[in-house]
């Protein structure tokens, strides 16, 4: 990307004046190192909107090892992209970068450098500084005088100076504590410091009132808890799995496989929603396909992998708990009052005077020797919103004001007045698309009857991943000790474990009611019962709060949840209602006894479900060669309804 790309002829180039429409514009260049730094540049892009005096450009230094995803991001931004060599040959009024690296000193323009995280916290070796021995963590010697430790990225001469002079015209900091550390580490660069807040944090703060909407977008209903797994990059991150990350006992093995498996096996699918927010360097360093492959089992158990560019801030706002590490995402979560549990935290990789290091000395650690669910619930239940108030105050000294401060800085450097008719504003965080929980792994369903008149049942579902054993109904933590449970298995018709379909008690299909490939629901249900002879009930989910079920006895029923008190659809997976009805019928009750409604409980949430018999469609003519259908019909005529050998 740094070379080999054709030079632009418009809006800059040797004969650009012949072709451009707007002349005399101030030129602003955004310098992209990788996707991570580009996200902060995208934050501030709107500060130049509506100003016809400004022409924006983008370029990539080509110096980062993480270049994947950059072309797509630049194309999405829609700015003219200059090859790096042409960028160095072009005059600009302002150059904005959110990282160091590359030949920034060769650019012709006033350079402003922003942080692309919560300030400057991590130590990172440079070509001029290599760590040759592990640091002695018991020493009291000031860390900046230690020759064995890498400098703090963004606050040390290794990054800030070129030929002994500051590289940047303006070094943007979000809080005075960063200025104190800058003065200590690199006094030569201190005069370039400008306190201008944190635009990423401000966008989060402005969107906090949208929390309930973000939760619904992620399919989180009343009574559910959203657990976000957050990881920065590198081997000692939570996703990296290096035991030196320091979250567990010394010498412990990789925590990540344990965590991903426990998210499925310990957290009931209808009481918890899980999502992963991973650093872009993980996505683009290893490849999105590889990351998705690593998360495959967890995703089939319901984990939502948040894309690296869109949605991570919304997920953070919506979260009930963040399982994280020394990332900026974890720190942002603590700053807005979200409980955090640290799954990895290599203190030696951080400036001990930084706020992120202080979080590591304060927040609880995740331990594999205990129950994951118990640790999560304890962190949530014992949390006070002001627990990290002191740390939150160090996120920005000017919360909500970064747009005003940054635009003032940018226009002062360009030497033109700010546009009076257009206030300095950042883009609001968009509402993500609706992504309901989708579990395609086999499900073990535990049901206990709370009342027969009126019908009320408690349902607890667990995804069964890999070789993990099915949950034991006698040990289900959802109900009181000694409570009698019944258990059955359920499977999505699109499950990868196709062998489970032949023995599942409940088979589920999700599609629109008018999907011509499958519907109408009654037709699919009839075919499915023939296709899966051990199945006692099938369910066609055709809406966020409803499904059509057919029993082995031939009854066709619509199950519909009552709306929430605010009139919105109940977000519980309708397959839960199908399992509740199946348990009701197999326990010896009649369908008539379930009319007109049943109550289904998942954790602390109660779902009032209408049970509506539907008219029977005319029988379909037999299809040629339908041997499976003929066999199933013959089996039903010879005996009672066929039961799965896995039922209890």
Residue 544 phi, psi (nearest 5): -65, -15
More confident residue, 136 or 101: 101
Q: Which of 361, 280, 359 is nearest to 322 (CA)?
A: 359
pLDDT-derived band of residue 174, with 50, 70 and 90 as boundaries?
Answer: very high
Q: Which of 310, 364, 288, 316 is nearest to 118 (CA)?
A: 316
pLDDT of 495 > 70? The answer is yes
Tell me how far CA of residue 185 lies from CA of 48, 99, 112, 155, 356, in angstroms: 33, 18, 19, 6, 18
Quote the tokens at residue 105: 């000193």
pLDDT of 87 > 70? The answer is yes
CB atoms within 10 A of CB 216: 20
pLDDT of residue 136: 31
Helices (H), 21-175: 35-44, 70-77, 84-88, 157-160
pLDDT of residue 622: 59
Residue 213 phi, psi (nearest 5): -70, -40
How are strands ordered across the β-sheet holding 225-231?
304-305, 272-278, 225-231, 321-324, 340-342
| Cα–Cα distance for residue pair 82/625, rounded to 1 Å | 63
pLDDT of residue 471: 54
| Preceding peptide of 582 cis, ω within 30° | no
pLDDT-derived band of residue 480, with 50, 70 and 90 as boundaries?
Answer: low
How are strands ordered across the β-sheet holding 193-195?
81-82, 54-60, 26-32, 94-97, 111-113, 170-173, 193-195
pLDDT-derived band of residue 148, with 50, 70 and 90 as boundaries?
Answer: low
Instruction: Detail the DSSP E strand segments found in 103-220.
Output: 111-113, 161-162, 165-166, 170-173, 193-195
Per residue in 2-44, pLDDT (tens digit) is 445 789 999 999 889 999 999 999 999 999 999 999 999 999 9
Taking the CA atoms of 341, 346, 350 and 354 in sequence, report the sign of the dihedral they define. positive
pLDDT-derived band of residue 101, with 50, 70 and 90 as boundaries?
Answer: confident
- What b-and-e string marks burial along 10-25, b requiring 16 or more CB atoms within 10 Å of the CB? ebbbeeeeeeeeeeee
Per residue in 347-377, pLDDT (tens digit) is 999 999 999 999 999 999 999 888 999 999 9
Helices (H), 436-484: none
pLDDT of residue 3: 46
**What's the per-residue H, E or C state across 505-540?**
CEEEEECCCCCCCCCCHHHHHHHHHHHCCCCCEEEE
Tell me how far CA of residue 55 lies from CA of 32, 58, 85, 94, in angstroms: 17, 10, 19, 11
95: Cα separation from own chain's centroid: 31
pLDDT of 296 > 70? The answer is yes
pLDDT of residue 640: 37
Q: Which of 601, 598, 539, 611 is nearest to 574 (CA)?
A: 539
Tell me how far CA of residue 457 lies from CA of 368, 580, 582, 600, 603, in angstroms: 33, 7, 11, 5, 11
CB atoms within 10 A of CB 120: 22
In sequence order, the β-bridge partners of residue 30 are: 58, 96
pLDDT-derived band of residue 483, with 50, 70 and 90 as boundaries?
Answer: low
pLDDT of residue 126: 62
pLDDT of residue 2: 45
Residue 288 phi, psi (nearest 5): -55, -40
Work out the percent of the chain whose per-residue pLDDT is above 70: 87
| Cα–Cα distance for residue pair 159/576, rounded to 1 Å | 56
Dihedral of CA atoms 45, 46, 49, 55 in degrees, nearest 10, equals: 0
- Tell me how many degrees the CA angle 51-57-14 measures, rounded to the nearest 5: 110
| Cα–Cα distance for residue pair 56/446, rounded to 1 Å | 59
pLDDT of 580 > 50? The answer is yes
Please classify residue 297 by burial: count the beta carbons closer than 10 Å to its beta carbon, then call 0-12 exposed, 13-18 middle and 19+ buried: buried
Q: Which of 439, 444, 465, 437 is nearest to 258 (CA)?
A: 465
pLDDT of residue 203: 97
| Cα–Cα distance for residue pair 562/607, rounded to 1 Å | 7
| Cα–Cα distance for residue pair 340/392, rounded to 1 Å | 13
DSSP conformation letters of 425-445? -PPPPPPPPP------S-EEE
pLDDT-derived band of residue 596, with 50, 70 and 90 as boundaries?
Answer: very high
Per residue in 310-326, pLDDT (tens digit) is 899 999 999 999 999 99
Highest mean pLDDT among 425-429, 498-502, 643-647: 425-429
Per residue in 213-259, pLDDT (tens digit) is 999 999 999 999 999 999 999 999 999 988 766 655 555 678 999 99
CB atoms within 10 A of CB 442: 25
Q: Which of 148, 392, 372 is nearest to 260 (CA)?
A: 372
The mean pLDDT value for 371-387 works out to: 96
The mean pLDDT value for 506-518 works out to: 96
pTM, full prediction: 0.90
The pLDDT mean for the chain works out to 89
Judged by average pLDDT, the poorest of 68-77, 117-126, 227-236, 506-515 is: 117-126
């Amino acid at each position: 990307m740094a070379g080999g790309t054709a030079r632009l002829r418009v809006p800059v180039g040797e004969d650009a004046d012949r072709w451009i429409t707007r002349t005399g514009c101030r030129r602003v260049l955004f310098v992209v190192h990788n996707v991570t730094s580009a996200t902060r540049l995208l934050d501030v892009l709107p500060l130049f909107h509506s100003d016809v005096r400004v022409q924006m450009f983008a370029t990539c230094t080509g110096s980062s090892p993480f270049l994947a995803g950059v072309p797509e991001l630049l194309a999405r931004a829609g700015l003219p992209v200059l090859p790096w060599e042409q960028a160095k040959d072009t005059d600009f009024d302002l150059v904005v970068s959110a990282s160091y690296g590359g030949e920034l000193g060769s650019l012709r323009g006033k350079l402003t450098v922003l942080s692309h995280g919560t300030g400057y916290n991590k130590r990172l070796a440079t070509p001029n500084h290599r760590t040759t021995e592990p640091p002695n963590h018991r020493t009291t010697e000031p860390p900046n005088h230690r020759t064995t430790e890498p400098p703090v990225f963004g606050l040390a001469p290794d990054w800030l100076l070129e030929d002994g002079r500051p590289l940047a015209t303006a070094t943007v900091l979000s809080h005075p504590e960063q200025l104190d550390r800058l003065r200590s580490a690199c006094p030569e660069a201190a005069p370039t410091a400008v306190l201008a807040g944190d635009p990423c944090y401000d966008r989060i703060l402005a969107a906090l009132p949208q929390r309930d909407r973000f939760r619904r977008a992620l399919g989180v209903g009343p009574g559910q808890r959203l657990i976000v797994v957050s990881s920065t990059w590198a081997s000692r991150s939570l996703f990296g799995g290096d035991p030196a990350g320091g979250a567990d006992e010394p010498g412990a093995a990789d925590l990540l496989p344990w965590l991903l498996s426990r998210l499925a096996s310990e957290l009931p699918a209808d009481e918890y929603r899980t999502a992963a927010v991973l650093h872009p360097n993980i996505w683009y360093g290893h490849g999105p396909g590889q990351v998705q492959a690593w998360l495959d089992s967890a995703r089939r158990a319901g984990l939502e992998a948040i894309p690296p560019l869109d949605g991570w801030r919304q997920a953070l706002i919506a979260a009930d708990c963040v399982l994280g590490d020394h990332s900026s995402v974890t720190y942002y979560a603590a700053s807005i009052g979200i409980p955090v549990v640290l799954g990895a935290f290599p203190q030696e990789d951080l400036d001990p005077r930084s706020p992120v290091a202080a979080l590591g000395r304060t927040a609880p650690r995740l331990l594999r020797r205990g129950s994951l669910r118990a640790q999560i619930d304890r962190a949530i239940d014992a949390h006070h919103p002001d627990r990290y108030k002191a740390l939150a105050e160090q996120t920005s000294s000017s919360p909500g004001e970064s747009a005003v401060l940054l635009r003032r800085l940018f226009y002062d450097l360009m030497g033109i007045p700010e546009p009076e008719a257009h206030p300095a504003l950042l883009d609001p965080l968009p509402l993500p698309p609706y992504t309901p929980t989708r579990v395609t792994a086999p499900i073990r369903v535990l049901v206990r009857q709370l009342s027969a008149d009126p019908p009320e049942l408690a349902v607890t579902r667990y995804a069964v991943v890999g070789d993990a054993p099915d949950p034991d109904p006698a040990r289900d933590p959802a109900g009181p000790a000694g409570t009698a449970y019944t258990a059955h298995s359920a499977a999505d018709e699109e499950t990868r474990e196709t062998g489970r379909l032949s023995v599942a008690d409940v088979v589920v299909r999700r599609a629109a009611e008018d999907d011509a490939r499958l519907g109408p629901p009654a037709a699919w249900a009839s075919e499915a019962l023939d296709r899966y002879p051990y199945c006692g009930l099938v369910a066609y989910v055709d809406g966020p709060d409803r499904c059509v079920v057919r029993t082995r006895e031939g009854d066709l029923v619509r199950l519909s949840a009552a709306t929430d008190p605010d009139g919105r659809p109940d977000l519980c997976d309708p397959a839960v209602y199908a399992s509740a009805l199946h348990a009701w019928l197999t326990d010896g009750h009649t369908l008539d006894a379930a009319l007109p409604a049943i109550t289904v409980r998942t954790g602390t949430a109660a779902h009032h479900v209408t049970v509506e018999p539907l008219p029977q469609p005319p029988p379909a003519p037999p299809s040629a060669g339908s041997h499976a259908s003929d066999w199933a019909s013959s089996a039903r005529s010879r005996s009672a309804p066929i039961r799965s050998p896995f039922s209890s």
